[in-house]
């Protein structure tokens, strides 16, 4: 019975790697593999070549602690063809097979290895095309004079300060100018018209100031 290493990666901390691991465990059972160890990288981008889980997996591979690596998809291992092939070459040199669940491809034969190269190259090309389309859209928006990203903070700072110093509460000033109370407090303090202690803010706000 072949010993299998399961590797999964999720890009953000709020994603659950168990989704990938559950399917990989079932897949390993169907193929007759014994799961030797599971390696997880959580909240790590696939563009990074050095990852704790991947590094541990490769270290154990060099110690011949498993015979095959199972991943949920190619892009879980790497997002660039170059890095992907570097990992694949090392596993191949160690005599360890590589199997992708989603693409249904393994490297046990020359055809499987060729398919890995082709599919990973297409995936990288698709990502590059998406990036270029986004950049082209941003260039077109700039040429047309459209706003890109968050709109600039526009408010009559002087009027905010005058309203606050006139006796209006933070809530009243904030509603009048459609900004937060914290922004009101900051603008007043930055104006220099009143010492910080004279303008309560945050946890120091009294019931009347609110």
Which residues are the active-site residues? 11
What are the residues facing 70 on neighbouring strands?
6, 99
Distance CA 160, CA 87 (A): 59
Residue 105 pairs in a beta bridge with: 100
Which residue from 120, 62, 119 is spatially nearest to 93, judged by alpha carbons? 62
> What are the residues whose beta carbons fall under 8 Å from the beta carbon of 143, sequence distance 6 or more?
none
Q: Tell me whether strands 3-10 and 68-71 are parallel, antiparallel or unpaired.
A: parallel
Which residue from 77, 101, 76 is spatially nearest to 87, judged by alpha carbons?
Answer: 77
Half-sphere exposure of 88 (CA within 13 A, CB side): 26
Strand-pairing partners, residue 99, are 70, 106
């Amino acid at each position: 019975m072949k010993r299998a290493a399961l590797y999964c990666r999720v890009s953000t901390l709020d994603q659950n790697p168990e989704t990938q691991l559950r399917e990989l465990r079932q897949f390993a059972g169907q193929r007759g593999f014994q799961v030797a160890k599971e390696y997880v990288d959580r909240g790590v981008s696939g563009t990074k070549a050095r990852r704790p889980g991947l590094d541990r997996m490769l270290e154990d591979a060099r110690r011949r602690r498993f015979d095959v690596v199972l991943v949920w998809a190619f892009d879980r291992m790497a997002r660039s063809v170059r890095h992907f092939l570097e990992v694949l070459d090392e596993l191949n040199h160690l005599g360890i097979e590589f199997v992708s669940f989603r693409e249904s491809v393994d490297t046990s034969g020359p055809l499987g290895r060729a398919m890995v190269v082709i599919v990973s190259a297409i995936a990288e090309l698709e990502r590059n095309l998406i990036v270029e389309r986004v950049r082209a859209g941003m260039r077109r928006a700039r040429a047309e004079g459209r706003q890109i990203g968050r709109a600039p903070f526009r408010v009559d700072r002087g009027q905010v300060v005058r309203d606050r110093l006139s006796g209006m509460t933070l809530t009243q000033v904030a509603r009048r100018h459609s900004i937060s109370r914290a922004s009101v407090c900051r603008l007043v303090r930055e104006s220099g018209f009143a010492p910080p202690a004279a303008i309560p803010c945050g946890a120091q706000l009294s019931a009347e100031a609110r």
